[in-house]
Amino acid sequence: MASPRLLLALCTVTLLSGAPAASANDQTIQTVLTLSGINNSNIRAAFKTTDAFDSVHSCSAGSGSSCTASNGYGSPPKNVGNILCLPSNLTYSITNSCQSLLASGASQDCKGNPISNYCGGDSSAAASCAWRTNNNKSLTSWNWNLSFSNGIVSVDCSNSNYQGYTP
């Protein structure tokens, strides 16, 4: 029989190891931020599922031109909130196609975006609703593409492997 100290040590190691890494059987959800003609480490892209113990997954391009935040999940589909945080002093414009995507479901009493308040005092471009992933193990992605021209940052967005907003 194992000693109580050994059992306590094993439990501690298990708890400290955190969540298991994504496996080939998981659905990977990601957000991708791409910057063109702008370099601002305060721009962040983030997502969070409505799973009880999930945390926000975010990235900033830093001094680079892109970043990706991702996480693996078992048993799809998942309801996911997506958001882009922008410095409040940055002048930006959201493309018509992106605005249409972000507003999808807002007038249909959809399930709200679980991270709509994530950006704090910064400006944000956020989906009005949580979006539901397809019921498969394919990569699911929300993409933010920002470009700078004539003093204005143009924000475009797209997604792949989502069914649509969550009713």
Domain ranges of the chain: 26-165
pLDDT recorded at residue 24 = 60
Output the CA angle 140-143-148, nearest 5 degrees.
175
Does residue 117 have a pLDDT over 70? yes
pLDDT digit string, tens, across residues 22-77 = 566 689 999 999 999 998 889 999 999 999 999 999 999 999 999 999 999 998 99
- What gap in Å lies between CA 159 and CA 162, rounded to an integer? 7
Does residue 145 have a pLDDT over 90? yes
pLDDT band at 19 (very low <50, low <70, confident <90, very high): very low
The 10 Å Cβ neighbour count of residue 142 is 27
Q: What is the mean pLDDT of the chain?
A: 87
